[in-house]
Amino acid sequence: MQLTRPLVLASNSPRRQQLMREMGCTFRVDVRPTDEDFPADMPVADVPSFLARQKVDQFRADLGDQLVLCADTIVVVDTDILNKPSDADEAVAMLRRLSGRAHQVMTGVCLLSAEETVSFTDVATVIFNPLDDYEIRSYVEKYRPFDKAGAYGVQEPIGMIGIQRIEGSFYTVMGLPVHRVYQALRSYELRVNPK
């Protein structure tokens, strides 16, 4: 996907960077410090796109002709948001809570250009098989999922053995709803007729 403007991906996530590369995008990474707090009374479904907009706002003053893409993923079980775990004990507790039940993964995306700000949230439901303590502790010790909401990566062994099914996009769970990002970027795509 060749774009008519330079694209900035405001994410340190190796997974998001990989997905953007696989979609054929050329981009540079620029991550700016952002307050990731949100109002306590905000509906859970609004949180991911709110956080993505907070990130994109850091680029407004010096945007120029660039496109800036930001994303934020949360894991929701019952009505509780499971953020990134602070340590191994918290990661184990999160995975115990997700074991044997369904939860939602919500990824909010915001695309900023000089003309507009487009934001949306994509939701997938993930159903986990029951996980035993050995599986959970082995995964946390080896993969140290402290940079992942809900303490797991869908593409890692705990996802491979633990996830019974996903209702929605696998890539939303991975951290970027590629199908919707592609649609958002299409209006900036340079299309050259193939020979």
Please report the pLDDT score of residue 1 as a whole number. Answer: 81
Residue 2 located in a structural domain? no
Q: Could you read off the pLDDT of 117-175 as tens digits, one per residue?
A: 999 999 999 999 999 999 999 999 999 999 999 999 999 999 999 999 999 999 999 99
Taking each helix axis from N to C end, the angle separating 88-98 and 133-143, rounded to the nearest 10 degrees, works out to 140
32-36, 50-54, 110-114: which range is least confident on average? 32-36
Query: Does residue 98 carry a pLDDT above 80?
Result: yes
65 falls within a domain: yes
146-157 tens-digit pLDDT? 999 999 999 999
- Distance CA(11)–CA(15), nearest Å, equals 10
Question: Distance (Å, rounded) from C-alpha 130 to C-alpha 162?
Answer: 7
Distance of alpha carbon 28 from alpha carbon 157, whole angstroms: 29
pLDDT, residue 36, reads 83
Asked whether residue 80 is domain-assigned, the answer is yes
Residue 195 lies in a domain: no
Identify whether 193 is part of a domain. no
pLDDT tens for 17-30 read 999 999 999 999 99
- Over residues 64-83, mean pLDDT: 94
Q: How many domains does the chain have?
A: 1
**Which tokens in the block code for residue 90?**
């918290």
Domain harbouring 90, CATH code: 3.90.950.10
Give the per-residue pLDDT at 191: 67
Of 57, 62, 72, 78, the catalytic one is: 72
The answer to whether residue 194 sits within a structural domain is no
How far apart CA 148 and CA 31 sit, in angstroms, is 17
| 169 in any annotated domain | yes
pLDDT band at 195 (very low <50, low <70, confident <90, very high): low
Expressed as residue numbers, the domain containing 136 is 7-188
Catalytic, 72? Answer: yes
pLDDT at residue 189, rounded to an integer: 85
**Which tokens is 75 given?**
């894991």
CA distance linking residue 3 with residue 100, whole number of Å: 43
Question: Which tokens in the block code for residue 187?
Answer: 């209006």
CA angle 107, 22, 32 (to 5 degrees): 50
Give the Cα-Cα-Cα angle 15, 17, 18 (nearest 5 degrees): 65
